[in-house]
Amino acid sequence: MINANRQVWALLGHATLTQLITFVLRPATTYRALELGVPASWLGVLSGSFALVPLVLALPAGHIVDRLGERRVMFAGSLLMCAAGTVLLALGHTVPGLVAGSVVLGTAHLGAIVGQQALVANSTTTGRMDSAFGYYTFAASLGQAAGPLMIVAFGGAQAIPDTTSIFQAGIAVAIALFALTFAIESTRTERGPATTENVGVRQLLRLPGLAGALLTACTVLAAVDISLVYLPALGAERGIASSLIGTLLVLRAASSMASRFFLGRLSEAIGRRRLLILSIFGAAAGITVAAAPVPVWLLLLAVTVAGFGLGVGQPLTMSWLAESAPPGARGRAMSLRLTGNRAGQVVIPGAIGMVAAGLGAAGVLWVTAAGLALTGVLARNLPVNRP
């Protein structure tokens, strides 16, 4: 049996490296697409390809986690991370190659995080879920902040960074991620045979408020994705140095880290529902300002506010779902949430890109902010507060 502290640190490190790879390769893919002359309005399609295959595989992955344990699925995700970087490096000189690399990257990301999230849910006692998922997503945000730093390092004052070097660095980090998986042990042997093998999607969908929580989670995640894709596009349109765009992405992730680190205390102080609503409206306001032609200091502030708000939605919906799902079915519950997220990642960016096609990257960000504001209004009746 692996020491509990070692298990925790290995899990947090795995979460950090997973997001680091994802959040450096995806903006790099956007920059490579811009190099190839792909119009900004079509970048949403490239973003959606990241979530296309995982949309189909998320629920089966949850079943595999519940039956075979978290570690095996995390191994598969780590190996596919290595493959994704290789595909982008070898075939990224064409648009189909970029799409293929994004599909493999999305599948790899799915395998890694469904195992991670099930491991958190199965290792945490009820009542500590907010803090546990807050720390887990804090580690994920650390990777999201570290990833764009590689863009700063390889980009400098250029509008388009050296994407080949970024792809190579991503492969190196993916190899480290695979090695780290050996330090993780599944919880399956600790909790014994599952007593809820017959719990299916229909039973989980009957949980009160689940549909609204899934909508909230996928809208917030789609907003994160859109900012990841369209902030670089906004910079390219306005001639903003890639180093400043990288700094903005770092600030967004760092402010999400802050909200997640203190998530347990914040939810105890003001309640889950109120915290969720305030964070969504804050994110909408920040994105609205960031898309406008404002001074650099205000742009930095707006992205910081948006990042803080965007950091809250995911861990709160995770912890609520983990508490609501029966033990032994939490892998399926997490994968159901991921299915909703992936559906949003496939549909929302492409739809918003087409709606705002004539307005450029700024228009896409403004429509995204409006969608967040509507989600905040709908979240008022979610039963996410503890009884």
Q: Is the distance from CB of 98 to CB of 42 less than 8 angstroms?
A: no
In this prediction, residue 51 carries a pLDDT of 75
In this prediction, residue 151 carries a pLDDT of 80
Residue 69 main-chain phi, psi, to 5 deg: 105, 160
Ordered by start, the domain boundaries in the chain are 4-185+203-381
**pTM to 2 decimals?**
0.75
Task: Report the amino acid identity of residue 272.
Answer: R
- CATH number for the domain running over 4-185+203-381: 1.20.1250.20
Distance CA 327, CA 324 (A): 9
Distance CA 319, CA 342 (A): 19
Distance CA 59, CA 338 (A): 8
- Split at pLDDT 50, 70, 90, the class of 80 is very high
Q: Which residues, 6 or more positions from 47, have their beta carbon under 8 angstroms from its beta carbon?
A: 26, 102, 225, 226, 228, 229, 345, 349, 350
Inform me whether the pLDDT recorded for 47 exceeds 70.
yes
pLDDT tens sequence across 305-325: 999 998 888 888 787 777 776
pLDDT tens sequence across 137-183: 889 878 877 887 888 787 766 777 888 889 999 999 999 999 999 98
Task: Name the strand (E) or helix (H) holding 185.
Answer: none
Query: Both tokens of residue 71?
Result: 């570690």
Distance CA 167, CA 90 (A): 9
pLDDT tens sequence across 113-137: 988 988 887 777 666 777 888 888 8
Q: Which residues, 6 or more positions from 371, have their beta carbon under 8 angstroms from its beta carbon?
A: 219, 222, 223, 348, 352
